[in-house]
Structure 1
Amino acid sequence: MKLIKSYFIITFFILFIIPFFGQVKNIGVPDVRNYKRNEYKGGTQNWNIGQDKNGNLYFANNNGLLQFDGSSWRKYPLPNLTSVRCLKIDDSGKIYVGGYNEFGYFQPDSKGKLKYTSLAKRVDSKKIKIIDFIWKIHSLNNQIIFQSFARAYLFKDGKLTILKAPKRFQFSFVVNNRLYFQDVEKGILEYRDGKLYSLPNTTSLNNTEIWGMYTLTKDKTLIITLEKGLFIYEDNNLKPWDTEANAFVKKNNSLGGSIINKNSIVLNSVLDGIIICDFNGKIIQHVNRKKGLQNNTVLSSFIDNKNNLWLGLDNGIAYINESSPFTYFGFSYDISTVYASVIYEGNLYVATNQGVFYHAWNSNFKEDVFKLVEGTTAQSWNVQVIDNELICSNNRGALVIKGGRVTRIIDSKGYFGLKKIPSHPGFYIGSNYDGFAIFQKTPNGLTFKNQINGFDKSSNSFELDESYFWLKKDESIYRMQLSDDLTNFSTIKKINQLSSNYRNIGSIQKIDGKIYFQTNNHFYKFSKEQDLFYEDKKISNLFKNIPTINALSQDSQSNLWYAFDESIGVLMKQNNHYKNIVAPFSNLTGNLVSNYLSVNTIDSKNIFIGLTDGLAHYDSELLNNFVTKPKAFIRSFSFPGDTIILGNNQTKSESIRIPYSSNHVRFTFSSPTYENLENVQFSYQLEPFDDKWSNWSTISIKEYTNLREGDYTMKVKVRNSYGIQSEPSVLSFTVSPPWYRHFLALMIYFVLIVISIYIISNQIKMKIRKNKYYETIEQRRLYLEKESKIRQEQYDLEKEIEKLKNDKLQIKILAKDKELVNNSLQVVKKNKILNGIIHKLKEIDVEALDDSTKFQVSKLNKSIVKEVNTDKSWKDLEKHIKNVHFEFLKRLKEKYPTISPRELDLATYLLMNMSTKEIAEIMNISTGGVELARYRLRKKLGLNKKENLIGFLMSI
């Protein structure tokens, strides 16, 4: 029964526990991110690294303690501004640090700001004048140990005790919860119960520095020295660790290391970066300056909570993404843009823009570079194995490769690729720059047969079935039939759409040996019998929730790789269904070769993907926890006058209340997600200020101004480079109202309003009484005014009546004057007649008459002359004319002061519409004189020839 139980436990451990340890890949180089000193604003050297519970990283830097939260760097110098050489973070969140003549700890205050507490001040300066550098800090059994060369300082329960070195300490280590010191005289010492005990057979290491001690098995300890290499201490015996790793350390010196994934060792070197080896000393991975590090001297290494590797360099900091299933072959392996890859005769061949390169598949990839195949230096679009021959489709033609060089040129035209013709066994069709050509399998290998005539379009996207040759060109496809002699296409038909619902064709591909045509993620097949395209709902449903793809390829394991935008994903076939995997490949976004989906699946552990700057290796079986749910932090909350730092393991702060005068707030966000930081995005919402979450952005700062008083809740979430979102991080705070909107102020306002209402109501009552008094007076005044107005109106009426009477009398007078004028004119006419009679009488020959008649005639003549001479009608006429037209003459004289009396008379006669002859008679002038007088009057009045004189006078 015990045996069965033990077997079950062992089986469970092997199946479920060991895979979670993970492994370090031995193919390619992991992604490396370098941080330069101008980025973290510190010194060059970084001696030690640590991480707190929230994921924040800390670096012992020459300029102080550095903190990195994924978004920003902060620096905390020591009081004496010396270099920090070591650090240790305990379970309480205290960050213990050590430098020159200084050691102590940083701890967040109530506002999250890291405050330093010095423990070096507790050392009696009279007994110990120089503390020297603190090189190591350990946390063991609730005790913190600070180790310098001369002594160790033990801090426990607030008390500091001192352990003096027998001769001189080098460094110290904790292994299996045991504390060890290296003494330059007594070798390795174990500290137990306040005393030091020598480890047997370790004094041989006295003349070298030990930089690391790690447990390999229960009784086997690995010892890392600076110059002498690696040693194994087992059963009280010390012996060299004769391995690849030891040879590397002896050559490049070592400054310690770390255990990664519980089954591998990171070894820091002075001259050549780092190596990772297994517990047998076999080198798995080597990363140095040539492969991406900014500096080859590694002072410290640290494995973070995601099993990724951080390096403290002699000049800078480096992050190595060891937990990723991806590694890369890039510039360090001397390859560039990759269009295709294939395994052939134990070599991995890659077709690139510079030619075809190869590397032995079974040998170690750690150090070697890819070699160029002789004769392929040109654009190489494809490399494929056809009938046991390696064929390269190159800008120089279709080439046969063997033994690392081109052995034969089949055709000198540039080619994109070749495919088998199903209806003609032993024949192949190749896409070249001039169209398509036919190749034939012969005992001597593949040979060129002929160029297909009548069609010069070409593309790398084409497929063949038993009946047709299908070519995708631009957004259309061509359906063509080869002639029986394979010299031309007997039929050619261009197709622009597969159905009435969708225009343009996205891709053409073979899935399980059948040709599919894709448009907008809908997959169609062609029925020759019905001469139509019909949709395969089963395949279309696989891509229902996938972004619109532009290319699709089925690999050797029947997995479906698809490209969309500038990314790729895969539908991994698992039994009879597919699992969509896209998140891990987001790191390749933007690095894929456009229109060339290059995926070479050798097996589930070895998948090669072509990139614009090399080749990516993907191990789909590598269990990893790198795609985990990220955490979001509101890192700081600032307002005028204060800043609150969050996420420093401080105790939860009380409710935050800020004054209204500080209602300009600023938030910074962070996430301890260190992989692909440039793709980490934040979204936030300030309730109730924001109605919805903001758009995703890489900006980790947000400010709000002029917030009104009230309670607010800031929520932040983060999305990592794989599109996985975190739970929201929440911070609540209150903006106090301004003093004039405070509750007490409101109460005062209420009291003032009540008093004001009382005063105003009393004043209103008094005003009403006054208004009634003034209203009575006003009514009396109005009555008197009305009475006075009536009297004035009576007076005005009487004057009006009198005026009317005068006007009436004047009208009568004028009427009489007009009548007199008319009568006078009649008299004038009468006198005129009488003068005519007088002239007639003068013409009578009186002498011829008898005396009686002569007397009568003379008497008559005298009587008429007397009548004419005694008549004063003309003067009366002039007088009355002036009376009748007095107003006219007055206006005319005012308007034209220089006008003469004769001209006034003329104007009056003209106004009366008298003829020239009548005017001449009245004025006793000739008619010519009247015309002359009229001309002078017109000139004085300023009239031109076209203006009517009488009309002008009437208008005055």
Structure 2
Amino acid sequence: MSLIKSYFIIIIVLLSNNLFSQEKKIGLPEIKNYSRIDYKGDTQNWEINQDKRGNLYFANNKGLFQFDGSSWRKYSLPNSGLIRSFKIDKSGKIFVGGNSEFGYFKPDSKGKMEYFSLSKLINKNVVKLIDIVWKTHLYNNEVIFQTFSNIYIYKENKLRILKAPGRFQFSFKVGTKLYIQDHKKGLLEYINGSLTPLKNTTTLNNREVWAIFTLPDNNLLIETINNGLFIYNFKKIVPWNTEANEFMKKNGALGGTVLRNDFIVLNSATNGIIICNKKGKIIQHFNKNKGLQNNTVLTSFVDNKNNIWLGLDSGIDFINENSPITYFGSSYGISTVYASVVYKNNLYVATNQGLLYRSMKNIFNDNTFNLVSGTSGQAWNIQIIDGQLLCSSNKGALVIQDGKTVQTIDTKGYIGLKLIPNKPNYMIGCNYTGFAVFEKISNKWQYKNQLEGFYGYPYSFQVENSNLWFQLDNLIYKMTLADDMTRIKSIKTYKNLSNKDKGIGSIQQIKQAIYFQNNNHFYKYSGDLDLFYEDKEINKLFKNLPKINTIKEDHQGNIWYVFKESLGVLMKNNNGTYKNIITPFSNLTGNLVSNYLSINTIDSHNIFIGLTNGIAHYNPKQKNNLVIKPKAYIRSFTYPGDTLILGNGQEELEKYKIPYKFNHVKFSFSSPTFENLENVEFSYQLEGFDKKWSSWSNNPIKEYTNLREGNYKMKIKVRNSYGVQSDETFLLFTISPPWYRHPFAYLIYVILTITIIYVIRERIKIKIRKNKYYETLEQRRLYLEKETKIRQEQYELEKEIEKLKNEKLKIKILAKDKELVNNSLQVAKKNKVLNNIINKIKDINVDTFDETTKTQFTKLNRSIIKEVNTDKSWQDLEKHIKNVHYDFLKRLKEKYPTISPRELDLATYLLMNMSTKEIAEVMNISNGGVELARYRLRKKLNLNKKENLIGFLMSI
């Protein structure tokens, strides 16, 4: 009964806190720090505001800084960088107050902020020194700039001055009212251009008021820097005796802001901020120990998603109040958490440093977790079993009570403990050497024995009747306990769940049954058939989920699962259906403890999740803006020579036109989504260039080079850290063609083309006429050439005929020469014969002849001698040969001057192809004499033995 009562109290406390508010009271939200190095300004930041697009602005000692979620921009005053206050009106003008200067920033047509001074409207003869403008207000169509000496009221381009009755401190716009503190007359209300004192507020004259808030029953909460908080009911001022007042009196007050209309954020000078309700109860406290950069908070601001921004004495901080997840981390003294449980108003967490705990009664207190005595070292699990708190750790199996170890059941190191079904007095534990059995005797757990037959340990196991199930070395083990629970009776292993699902994913208990899972397919085990069979009903729950590796069901029936180091949950509805939730846990990705999923569900408002760097608290019922679509903006559009800054309040053009020579463009993107900026991703597509959307990336800049002329549409969308995707945002622009591809240029090209065609056509006509004329001339020339050629050919033919005739004549002459030679040779033979006859006649004795005979013989002899002597055929032959071969003999004589007439004759005979015998007869020499003459002739002609003499002579 005590345990049930304890749980009931905790649940009532936690539930009541969430019913009355949405403000976090457990753990710390995520805090993001921006140092001066990030925004490149001064350390001090004095005021924060947000424009209608979600961009944030910070008044800094070095100017006005703008943050759009992706980049920082700085805007400075002309005389001094210091800005103390500013406000943004509906048109986008930013009215700022600095040191002796005030005016407004206004974007030009290209989005660049231009400064317009309003202080120049002051008559220097009336006010010589403006001083620092500490507060700026937009009030009833007026802009009010407040210094310590005067209030400057700007309306319709005119400036009016209200002097301080004594000396102004600060001014505050509260609802529809504007209050100013004066050191002489107390609080004043600005009404219709004049100042009206509030009753009984002069008690504040010696106290600096830094903030005024509204409270129920038309009361005002007045915050002073050193004297705490006061209630003013427009009749009297009394101290606000609350926790918040005590804190502010102790730490100094520097203003604040309202959160969700139900809470007040109060800035302190020495200890960060507190968030309290309107009854003064402190709900949260943030200081340097809990993640802030600095304990001096000069200003605070709640953005359009109810997240808190702090302007510090050194830097800027962002508190993610919108997230349903908060953390207990290193600031609370804890590290890796393997398990957690709430027991008797205490939160216990099993960590790698031991078992830690802290009280849940006073959730606000800043105390860290305390170490449970006797548990230092690795603590694997913390469980409530049969009403007792049991810890599994390196120190053994321990019983914990009131933050102390009251019993060590066994000294061996343990991973976890489980009751044995149908045997409520027995419990089994997994230790470093196997499994052990515990028995409950006299309401106390006692170690019974170590189970024999198995050595080793898994990180988790399940108990079903007398079977132990666990996964180890990629195998499923089924171990059956002996009836006396002293040993393992049998061990069987399974490698696959089925033929289609090879391997094993996980073993878990869902709906009081053991399930085996792989590839999101769930199986049960049939002992009778010794096989695994699918459960199609459970399969449907996980059908459309990513591939899971770890599953755990909490006591409310919610099914938690891990995929790719990320966390999701099938949250059980009242009607038994399930709702899949992943978005809130995206920031836990990579921080879950591998193989040790720690989920501690206290109720529907409070769930603790173990992490590698602490423990997270999740409130599923907290209202938040996680599912609201983020907005994507094209923040700037840059091309060589110019930059367009979009979304600064200027009127945007429907389409931008860029000269072709500036076809190198750059875009920057932004999204006023400030939660977990490192996980905000953009995707873009340039229609007219990109064929598809780009992959998601956290790079907010994209450049394109050498774009062709044409119309383009730059589309951008954003996905926040929770996976919610925005609608598309686009920008239209046109790149003009180069002058040589301009439409007017094409018109000129057409005209030039037509002109050129006409000119070419006319020139062709002229050329045709010329060609015809030249063709006629050419034909005439060809005719004449042909006629000349024919004549030449005729002449050549005649010449050839003449040549042939000459050759024929020569052949005839040679034939005649041959015939003449033959005749001459015959004559020579005849003469030789006749000479022989004459010689023989001489030998005849004529004395023996008679006179008649002797006379006749003598007459015959004389006749023969006369015939021989009168024959001149040989002389005619020589003469003929010399006449015919005159040219040959002349060339031969010119070429070889030393040649003799006899050798010339020989050469001629050889040219006539006369044989040696014939030559010998003609020349009247022997055959040997002819050969000798031939030899001498070869020497005269310088011929070697291999050269043919007759051939050589024919070549001359």
TM-score range for the pair, normalised by the shorter chain length: 0.7 to 0.9
Equivalent-residue separation in structure 2 for 1:394 and 1:702 (angstroms): 53
Contact 2:80–2:98 under 8 Å retained in 1: no
**Equivalence for 1:851:** none
Q: Where does residue 85 of structure 2 map in the other structure? A: 86
Is 1:364 the counterpart of 2:363? The answer is: yes
What does 1:299-698 correspond to in 2, within 5 Å? Answer: 299-443=298-442, 445-575=444-574, 576-698=576-698
Q: Deviations over 1:2-38 (max 9, x none)?
A: xxxxxxxxxxxxxxxx999962111111110010111
| Distance change (3 Å), C-alpha of 1:727 and 1:883 | farther
Give the match for residue 769 of structure 2.
769
1:175 aligns with 2:154: no
Q: After TM superposition, give the deviation of residue 476 of structure 1 in Å.
A: 2.6
Q: 1:780/1:273 Cα in 2 relative to 1: closer, same or farther (>3 Å)? A: same
Aligned length: 816
CA contact (8 A) 2:637 2:668 kept: yes
- Give secondary structure in 2 for the equivalent of 1:501: coil
In 2: Cα distance, 1:93 partner to 1:78 partner: 17
Match of 2:41 in 1: 42
Taking the aligned partners of 2:570 and 2:936, their CA distance within structure 1 comes to: 124
User: Residue 376 and residue 756 in structure 1: after superposition, are their counterparts in 2 closer, same or farther (change >3 A)?
Assistant: same
Cα gap change, 1:882/1:518 in structure 2, threshold over 3 Å: closer, same or farther? farther
**Structure 1 residues 780 and 25: CA distance shift in structure 2, 3 A:** same
2:61 alignment partner AA: N
1:708 counterpart = 2:730:
no
Question: Distance between the aligned counterparts of 1:425 and 1:335, measured in 2?
Answer: 34
CA 1:268/1:401 → structure 2, altered by over 3 Å: closer, same or farther? same
Distance across 2 between alignment mates of 1:679 and 1:878: 124
The answer (yes or no) to whether the contact 2:459–2:595 under 8 Å persists in 1 is no
CA offset digits 1:903-932 (Å, max 9, x no partner): x79xxxxxxxxxxxxxxxxxxxxxxxxxxx
Change (3 A) 1:580 1:879: farther
Whether the 8 Å CA contact 2:136–2:146 is kept in 1: the answer is yes
Code of the residue aligned with 2:543 in structure 1: it is K
- SS of the aligned residue for 1:751 comes to helix
State the AA in 1 paired with 2:686: L
Instruction: Indicate if the aligned counterparts of 2:679 and 2:698 stay in contact, CA closer than 8 A.
Output: yes
Once the two structures are overlaid, the 10-residue window that deviates more, 446-455 or 339-348, is 446-455
- After superposition, the C-alpha distances for 1:155-213 in whole angstroms (9 at most, x for unaligned) are 11221111110010000112231111111111111122332222222111111110000
Alpha-carbon distance in 2 for matches of 1:189, 1:443: 75
Q: Is the 8 A contact 2:626 2:722 kept in 1?
A: no
Hey, what's the Cα distance between the residues in 2 that align with 1:791 and 1:289?
125
* CA distance in structure 2 between the aligned counterparts of 1:42 and 1:651, rounded to whole angstroms: 29
Residues 1:285 and 2:284 aligned together? yes
In 1, Cα distance between the equivalents of 2:657 and 2:124? 45
Query: In 1, Cα distance between the equivalents of 2:346 and 2:792?
Result: 127
SS of residue in 1 equivalent to 2:593: coil
Distance 1:235-1:206 versus aligned 2 partners, 3 A rule: closer
Once the 2 structures are TM-superposed, how far is the Cα of residue 399 of structure 1 from its aligned partner? 2.4
Deviations 1:862-890 (A, max 9, x none): xxxxxxxxx98889899999999xxxx98
Alignment of 1:9-20 (within 5 A): none
| Structure 1 unaligned blocks of 5 or more | 1-17, 810-870, 894-900, 906-956
The Cα of 1:477 is off from its aligned counterpart by 1.1
Aligned residue for 2:766, secondary structure, equals: helix
Give the AA of the match of 2:426. F
When residues 773 and 331 of structure 1 are mapped into structure 2, their CA distance, relative to the original with a 3 A threshold, is same
Question: 2: CA distance between counterparts of 1:81 and 1:470?
Answer: 74
- Which residue in the other structure is 1:55 paired with? 54
Following superposition, the deviation at residue 542 of structure 1 comes to 0.8
**Deviations 1:466-513, CA, capped at 9 Å, x for gaps:** 252211124331122112222332222221211211211111111111
Instruction: Report matched runs for 1:550-949 at 5 Å.
Output: 550-575=549-574, 576-778=576-778, 784=785, 787=790
Residues 755 and 234 of structure 1, relative CA distance in 2, 3 Å threshold: same
Q: CA deviation at 1:720?
A: 0.5
Residue 258 of structure 1 aligns with which residue? 257
Q: Is the 8 A contact 2:655 2:731 kept in 1?
A: no
1:566-600 CA distance string (max 9 Å, x none)? 11011111021001111111111111112211110
CA distance 1:254–1:767, shift in 2 (3 Å): same
Does the CA contact (< 8 Å) of 2:339 and 2:380 recur in 1? yes
User: Are the aligned partners of 2:357 and 2:372 in contact in 1 as well (CA < 8 Å)?
Assistant: yes
Q: Return 307-316 or 231-240, whichever deviates more.
A: 231-240
Provide closer, same or farther for how the CA distance between residues 612 and 757 of structure 1 changes in structure 2, counting only shifts above 3 A.
same
C-alpha contact (below 8 Å) 1:28/1:366 kept by paired residues: no
Residues 102 and 119 in structure 2, CA contact (< 8 A), matched pair in contact too: yes
1:198 paired with 2:200, answer no
CA distance in 1, matches of 2:183, 2:717: 53
C-alpha spacing 1:777/1:246, structure 2 compared with 1 (3 Å): same
- Residues 874 and 518 of structure 1: CA distance in aligned 2, closer, same or farther (over 3 Å): farther
Please report the RMSD computed on the Cα atoms of aligned residues, expressed in angstroms: 3.0
| Distance in 2 (alpha carbons) for counterparts of 1:42 and 1:805 | 123
Q: Is the 8 A contact 2:584 2:722 kept in 1?
A: yes
Does structure 2 retain, via aligned residues, the 8 Å contact 1:245–1:283? yes
1:790 deviation in Å? 6.0
Hey, what does 2:248 align to over in structure 1? 249
Quote the Cα distance in structure 1 between the aligned partners of 2:276 and 2:547.
43
- Runs of at least 5 residues in structure 2 that lack an aligned partner in the other structure: 1-16, 813-924, 948-956
| Whole-angstrom distance in 1 between the partners of 2:390 and 2:791 | 128
Q: How far apart are 1:603 and its partner, in Å? A: 0.7
Which range is displaced more, 198-207 or 123-132?
Answer: 198-207
8 Å contact 1:187–1:206 — kept in the other structure?
yes
Structure 1 residue 789 displacement after superposition: 9.2
**Equivalent in the alignment of 1:865:** none
Give the structure-2-normalised TM-score. 0.81
Cα deviation for residue 91 of structure 1 reads 2.1
Which is worse superposed, 702-711 or 116-125?
702-711
Cα distance change of structure 1 residues 150 and 727 upon mapping to structure 2, 3 Å threshold = same
Provide closer, same or farther for how the CA distance between residues 791 and 306 of structure 1 changes in structure 2, counting only shifts above 3 A: farther
Deviations 1:236-265 (A, max 9, x none): 110000111011101100101011011111
Task: State the Cα deviation string for residues 79-113 of structure 1 (Å, max 9, x = none).
Answer: 11231000111222211110110011111111111
Structure 1 residue 405 displacement after superposition: 2.8
> What's the offset of the Cα at 1:608?
0.2
Partner of 1:830: none
Q: Give CA deviations for 1:732-755 in whole Å, capped at 9, x if unaligned.
A: 111111111122222111111111
1:26-55 per-residue CA deviation (whole Å, 9 max, x = no partner) reads 111111001011111111110000011100
SS at match of 1:426: strand
Gap change, CA 1:878 and 1:728, over 3 Å in 2: farther
Which amino acid is the alignment partner of residue 671 of structure 2? S
Taking structure 1 as the reference length, what is the TM-score of the superposition?
A: 0.81
Q: Tell me the alpha carbon deviations over residues 298-338 of structure 1, each in whole angstroms, 9 at most, x when there is no partner.
A: 00000100001000000100000112111100010000011
